[in-house]
Chain A
Amino acid sequence: MFDKINKTLDFNQNLLNLYAKRQEILSSNIANADTPNYKAMDINFKDEMDKITKKSNLDITLTKTSSHHLNPRKKNFFIFEVKPITSKEIQSNGNTVDMNRERIEFIKNTLKYEENLVFIKNEIKNIMNVLKG
């Protein structure tokens, strides 16, 4: 049973991490809207989502010297691939930030993050209801 709880919470946790990272990238784009030669960055949501669902990340193993040692966590989802956006529009100073796009994506990403938080909250509420009976 706890495995199931872990699974749902784990997935949501990874997703929250992904949204938080994306939020960071978008805020960096907004902050650098006037910086010469700055290229707007983003992450490919589909690829990262595939990584999370397939769990095909590199395994990092620890040597166990005693049978009482716990199993280490095997996945590391904190590394996301950050890529520059290919956009047609380039300002005269070599900057590729499209402020309208960034602001809209920023708001969208915020809402998705908060939506995910609500999911987690409800999940916890359900578990608490079951536990209390």
Chain B
Amino acid sequence: MSLLNILNIAGSAMSAQSEKINVIASNLANAESIVCKDGKFYPYIAKKVIFKLDPLKNSLIGGVKVFSIINDLNPMKLIYDPSNPLSNKNGYVLQTNVNPVSETINHISASRSYQANVEVLKTAKSMIMKTLSIGE
């Protein structure tokens, strides 16, 4: 039944958007973090969520799923800080490529999408309830 499918579609979109918000929160929280890999220290690399269509059976439409979480390809910043123990011989330190401004904007857009899907869910529910009361 189409109306029940709406609940699945909006639900999948909500979980995908909250996953995105999760990743954004992790990016912001780790903006100053250092990752240790193979005995070497690297700054934290921002992560990005890629969405994909999750089609219904034999159909062009459907919900959303998180396709993959990739590293942000933006270049890292080099900052002159000779007192830092991680600085190279010229005194420069690699810093994370997390951009707080774009992360905040993405966060707002994701939460707006989440809200839009909540509205869809509410509407679908009230439609189903009204349909059920048809013979009264």
Q: Footprint of B on A, CB under 8 Å? A: 16-17, 20-21, 23-25, 27-36, 38, 41, 82, 84, 99, 103, 106-107, 110, 113-114, 117, 120-121, 124
Q: Which B residues touch A82, using CB under 8 A?
A: 59-61
Asked if A25 and B61 make an inter-chain contact with CB atoms under 8 angstroms apart, the answer reads yes
Other-chain contact of B53, A23, A25, A38 (Cβ < 8 Å): A38
Q: Is the interface of A mostly helix, strand, loop or mixed?
A: helix
Asked if B134 and A27 make an inter-chain contact with CB atoms under 8 angstroms apart, the answer reads no
Q: Which B residues touch A99, using CB under 8 A?
A: 116
**In the complex, per-residue mask of B77-98: 1 if CB is within 8 Å of any chain A CB, else 0:** 0000000000000000000000
Q: What class of interface size applies to chain B in its complex with A?
A: 20 to 34
- A91–chain B nearest beta-carbon distance, Å: 12
Q: Which B residues touch A29, using CB under 8 A?
A: 61
Q: In the complex, A113→B130 CA distance in Å?
A: 10
Instruction: Show 6 residue pairs from A and B whose CB-CB distance is below 8 angstroms, ordered by the A residue.
Output: A20-B3, A23-B124, A30-B116, A31-B64, A31-B120, A34-B64
Other-chain contact of B61, A24, A36, A110, A120 (Cβ < 8 Å): A24
Asked if B50 and A36 make an inter-chain contact with CB atoms under 8 angstroms apart, the answer reads yes
Asked if A117 and B134 make an inter-chain contact with CB atoms under 8 angstroms apart, the answer reads yes
Asked if A120 and B63 make an inter-chain contact with CB atoms under 8 angstroms apart, the answer reads no
Q: In the complex, A36→B16 CA distance in Å?
A: 14
Q: Which B residues touch A31, using CB under 8 A?
A: 9-10, 12-13, 63-64, 117, 120
Asked if B13 and A30 make an inter-chain contact with CB atoms under 8 angstroms apart, the answer reads yes
- A64–chain B nearest beta-carbon distance, Å: 30
Asked if B61 and A41 make an inter-chain contact with CB atoms under 8 angstroms apart, the answer reads yes
Considering only residues 1-45 of chain B, those with a C-beta below 8 Å from chain A are: 1-3, 5-6, 9-10, 12-13, 17, 20
Asked if A117 and B116 make an inter-chain contact with CB atoms under 8 angstroms apart, the answer reads no
Q: In the complex, A32→B55 CA distance in Å?
A: 11
Asked if B61 and A28 make an inter-chain contact with CB atoms under 8 angstroms apart, the answer reads yes
Given A17-B2, A24-B6, A27-B9, the answer on whether A35 and B120 have CB atoms closer than 8 Å is: no
